[in-house]
Structure 1
């Protein structure tokens, strides 16, 4: 009977790819918190998110709180979203495609003007989901390259020796992530002059991420057939449950330059997120004779903080009785993202590693300028508005090709059901590519990602 004395030869390599496990976070973990933050509102997103200089309904609480000052009637708003995430992954020239659907409550809130002797003053409050972690990845194929996997085994005589199980095997990896970030916000907008509005939004962020990875490799060609290293398969399962919370402030301004033309700006101040993680990992090694060894590789909890950089939004819009045209941008310097080290923790190796990740952020990431274009066409005789938009979110990584940028093509429509009720729908199609590689599956995987998103929003004015 064989016995296992050392389970993992490459356990130390795991933190290179899935660094959350074992209390070691990566630069990617910090960047991804607000990367791909898309916002909400079928009307705004149907215009590609080019809403900084429009922002004339409840959703101004997110896009530009100064726009709240233009609301003349109390508004109640609600929205649902449906997201289809499709990932076509190529691993060692083998294509595996998978998709998954996610339906969420996107927003519910209210905005109401208060009586004033001059100008206007509008308050708003609500819940808004502005960021999705929802994603999936599945790939498989035969791999001739070594991943460093191996084990110390004892034969029946008690002799121990290291035996590799690292190459010329079939490999499969499946990764899923579900969750997102939510904003619980209160906002206020005030008309300071006939042509200038100002506003502020205070937000408490909450969120969660349910991350799971399962790696499997199998000796399908029976290459590993010599006792005691007559390996059949190896399986590794990792789970990370993360909770997020933070407090943020956004300031906004909106100016009418000439009738029909407005410029807008909004400043989101740096935000510090607290992240609480619960992690676990298990593995299973099977042999040709049916012997299976299962091990609990550890579990635990870890808490850390990440400060995300400020972002600046700017935009311009033109409107008349027939059309509305708008453009906006968002500037963010990702190099200013930082892991925050608690006082007295500099001697702790878990926190010392975060300082190294901060150096990686400075070195490998860059400032980006995302841009959005959109418009509306009003069909007044039909009480209908048609919308379209285009947006580009550049990759925060340095020295990557343009196909790593997130591009969005959007369409939408609004229907005035009556003088009180408006119904808005939107369709968003996003696409980009990314190259990933980890110690389990050397050689890399090319992911071709497509997102189809549908939103339906309801506004009641009274």
Structure 2
């Protein structure tokens, strides 16, 4: 009866109990260089150029640069390699996946009224994958800081009543885990897992007990952490653009954003400490995230001279609505005893929350050498500290927003690209540098990337292929409480991209 009477209160508080944090906010605020092979070959430095479907998703004025209607379709293969260091352990993992990451078309309507300054009008629709979440890595080492996963459960349990983190007589783990989640929320569920798996020991068996100790003794702990994620951020763009006289192009994009993200993590820990009653722990978590959002872009391209062009783009914030589901599992073992398994087999479904990512401003320069080639440069600025969970009036979200503003900062992105044409062939290359979004510059480091590409023009059809690579160092904190030690990760992503484009 006690838990039933608190059910309504639990439902009201659950949206803010799961614990969205900076990592979640940053994950959906960052974009990658995706899109057509030509776009990627120039490392995305297309803000003053246009004339490419992925360039339209960067600068909406770019669709009016097309001289005729155009369409493209892109396939890409991602190879990802992660080198990790965790205390004395070094590991390397890699994976590969093949995907469709771009498709779209532009319809160009030429104004045949020669007395009008408006030369062309274009309409476009396109899909671009803006980020690929397919990733996995493995970290293993001996934790010499005397930090065990028991600290995670202890930090959640300390101060909570025993009858709010334990099962009643005759209650299954599934029933208790579900009731505790509905009545008290995420924190109590974590304490429940620690208590029922015998990691935590109450000071007394009284229902009102709020003091706990650990059944793991001091010493070193051998820890293995597995991370595997899949999914993507996608953007569907609806574009309209105009050409005014011979030198000015103006456009607008209305964007629909998609999130699909699944993550599995596992911590496996063993110890041989003489005072430990628990020698082996297996703790697994899954997260499934879906979301949708909206943003808009305003852009312009101006030809200062027949060769020299400038571009300017404003990207609005993206306003997301996000849904999340989680599952958990834990088992513990003492010596050769049979393991204690707490497998609730319950999917926690959390109410939706809102996230506002920061806006971005991009300035671009390009110099076109007639029919022979071009060079281009893009500079972007985004203030990651402006990322916000909403509603901002909620106390938990307000605290997370304060952490975001304290730890994240403005970051610049520099992109350079060049293209040289010889007969039907086009030779391309690019370089990009992205500053860390963190003030410390270490939690997520700077990114360096380069690209090389080749294109062949058949007339109305063009085939492009590109190889690009980007590298970044980061530090990953294993848990948000207790076991907060970090794994150092060097991530290197390599892509081979092929695009078929044609004039309609």
Where on the TM-score scale, by shorter chain, does this alignment land: which range? Answer: 0.7 to 0.9
Shift of 1:59: 2.3
Contact 1:149/1:164 (8 A) holds in 2: no
Pairwise CA RMSD: 2.2
* C-alpha distance in structure 1 between counterparts of 2:53 and 2:200, whole Å: 63
Of Structure 1 and Structure 2, the greater strand share is in: 1
Deviations 1:201-226 (A, max 9, x none): 1111112001110100123xx434x7
1:388-442 residue CA offsets vs partner (Å, 9 max, x unmatched): 11001111100325991011111111111x2121011111111111122335755
Q: In the alignment, what sits opposite 1:318?
A: 367
Name segments (4+ residues, structure 1) moved above 6 Å.
Answer: none
Structure-2 separation of matches of 1:402 and 1:378: 41
1:133-159, Cα deviation, whole Å (9 max, x unpaired) = 2222201122232225442469xxxxx
TM-score (norm 2): 0.79
Equivalence for 1:300: 348
1-side partners of 2:383 and 2:484: how far apart? 31
Describe how 1:93-112 pairs up with structure 2 within 5 A.
Answer: 93-112=88-107
Q: Does 1:86 align with 2:133?
A: no
Distance 1:169 1:148, change over 3 A: closer
Identify the residue that residue 12 of structure 1 maps to in structure 2.
Answer: none
Unaligned 5+ residue runs, structure 1? 1-19, 155-159
SS for the counterpart of 2:304 is strand
Give the match's secondary structure for 1:231. Answer: coil
User: Relative to structure 1, is the Cα distance of residues 94 and 430 closer, same or farther in structure 2, using a 3 angstrom cutoff?
Assistant: same
CA drift at 1:296? 3.6
Indicate if the aligned counterparts of 1:87 and 1:449 stay in contact, CA closer than 8 A.
yes
Q: Give the Å deviation of 1:162.
A: 4.5
1:269 and 2:316 correspond: yes
| Bigger fraction of residues in helix | 2
Change (3 A) 1:294 1:403: closer
Alignment of 1:61-72 (within 5 A): 61-72=56-67
User: By how many angstroms is 1:294 displaced?
Assistant: 1.1
Corresponding residue number in structure 1 for 2:386: 336
What is the distance in 1 between the residues matched to 2:273 and 2:358?
52
Counterpart of 1:453?
A: 495
Matched, 1:433 2:483: no
Give the 3 Å change call, closer, same or farther, for CA 164–460 of structure 1 in structure 2. same
CA distance change for structure 1 residues 122 and 29 in 2, over 3 Å: closer, same or farther? same
Report what 2:229 is aligned to: 177
| Structure 1: distance between partners of 2:341 and 2:31 | 38
The answer on 1:258 being equivalent to 2:310 is no
Structure 1 residues 149 and 413, CA, compared in 2 at 3 Å: closer, same or farther? closer
Is this contact kept in 2: 1:263–1:314, CA < 8 A? yes
Q: Is the 8 A contact 2:142 2:221 kept in 1?
A: yes
Secondary structure of 2:53's counterpart equals coil
The aligned residue for residue 14 of structure 1 is none
Q: 1:166 to 1:215 in 2, by over 3 A?
A: farther
Matches within 5 A, 1:34-49: 34-49=29-44
Q: Offset at 1:43?
A: 0.5
Residues in 2 aligned to 1:64 and 1:25: alpha-carbon distance in whole angstroms = 32
- The CA deviation at 1:92 is 1.4
CA contact (8 A) 2:241 2:249 kept: yes
Equivalent in 360, 367, 370 of residue 410 of structure 2: 367
Specify whether residues 384 and 210 from structure 1 end up closer, same or farther in structure 2 by C-alpha distance, changes over 3 A only.
Answer: same
Counterparts of 2:485 and 2:103 in 1: how far apart (Å)? Answer: 45
1:171 touches 1:441 (CA, 8 Å); kept in 2?
Answer: no
